[in-house]
Chains A and B, each alone.
Chain A
Amino acid sequence: MKCEDAVNELIAYAGGRKDSPRRRELEKHAAGCATCRTQMEQFSALSSVLDELPAVEPSFTFDARVRQRVAAEPELGWFGRLVPQPRLALSGAMLVLLAVWVVKMQPYKMGATVPVTQAVEQPEDFNAIKDLGVLENYDVLTKFDALAEPAAPQPGKAAPDNGKTND
Chain B
Amino acid sequence: MLDVKAGDEASFDFLLRKYRSPLVNFLCRMVRDQATAEDLAQEVFLRVYRARHKYNPSAKFTTWLFRIATNLALNSIRDRRYQKLEFSIDAPADEEDSTPRELPARDMRIDEHMIERDRAQFIQRAISSLPEKQRVAVLLHKYEEMDYTEIAGILECSESALKSSLFRAYETLRVQLAPLVAQSQVRRGEGRPS
User: Is the C-beta of A30 less than 8 angstroms from some C-beta in chain B?
Assistant: no
Among B64-72, B73-81, B167-175, the stretch in contact with A: B167-175
> For chain B residues 32-63, which have a beta carbon within 8 Å of chain A?
34, 37-38, 41-42, 45-46, 49-51, 53-54
How many pairs of A and B residues are in contact by the CB < 8 Å rule?
123
Residue in chain B with minimal CB distance to A81? B53
Q: Are B184 and A53 in contact (CB under 8 A)?
A: no
Hey, what's the 0/1 contact readout for B144-158 against A, CB within 8 Å counting as 1? 010000000000000
Contact with B along A44-56 (1 / 0, CB 8 A): 1111111011111
Inter-chain contact B28/A56, CB cutoff 8 Å: yes
Set B16, B102, B116, B177: member contacting A66, Cβ < 8 A: B16
* B167 adjacent to A7 (CB under 8 Å): yes
Contacts of B16 in A (CB 8 A): 63, 66-67
Q: Does A128 make an interface contact (CB < 8 A)? A: no
Pick from B25, B45, B123, B143: contact of A49, CB below 8 A: B123
> Complex formed: what's the CA distance from A72 to B22 in Å?
25
Q: What's the least CB distance linking A63 to chain B, in Å?
A: 6
Residues in B neighbouring A8, C-beta threshold 8 A: 163
Docked Cα-Cα span, A44 to B124, in Å, equals 18
- Whether A70 contacts B54 in the complex (CB less than 8 A), given A53-B29, A62-B42, comes out as no
The interface residues of chain B lying within 8 Å CB-to-CB of A84 are 51, 53-54
Contacts A45-B185, A54-B120, A59-B98 given; indicate if A70 touches B12 (C-beta within 8 A): yes
How many Å from the CB of A4 to the closest CB on chain B? Answer: 11
Known contacts A56-B34, A58-B41, A62-B42, A49 near B184 by CB under 8 Å: yes
Nearest residue (CB) in B for A41 is B185
Question: Does B109 lie at the interface of the complex (its beta carbon under 8 Å from any beta carbon of A)?
Answer: no
- Are the CB atoms of A58 and B20 closer together than 8 Å? yes
Q: Interface majority SS on A: helix, strand, loop or mixed?
A: helix
Given contacts A46-B181, A58-B38, contact A14 B142 (CB under 8 A): yes
Contact with B along A8-20 (1 / 0, CB 8 A): 1011001111000
Judge whether A69 is part of the interface by a CB distance below 8 angstroms: yes
Residues 145-160 of A, flagged 1 when their CB comes within 8 A of B and 0 if not, give 0000000000000000
Q: Tell yes or no: A118 within 8 A of B by CB.
A: no
A65–B43 CA distance with the chains assembled, in angstroms: 10
Given known A-B contacts A46-B181, A76-B53, A11 and B167 have beta carbons under 8 A apart? yes
A residues less than 8 Å from B173 (CB atoms): 14, 46, 50
Contacts of A76 in B (CB 8 A): 53
Residue picked from B49, B53, B102, B124, most chain A C-beta under 10 Å: B53
Given contacts A11-B170, A15-B142, A49-B181, 8 further A-B contacts (CB under 8 A): A14-B173, A14-B174, A52-B123, A55-B21, A56-B24, A57-B21, A59-B34, A84-B51
Interface residues of A (CB under 8 A from B): 7-8, 10-11, 14-17, 41-50, 52-63, 65-67, 69-70, 73, 76, 80-81, 84-85
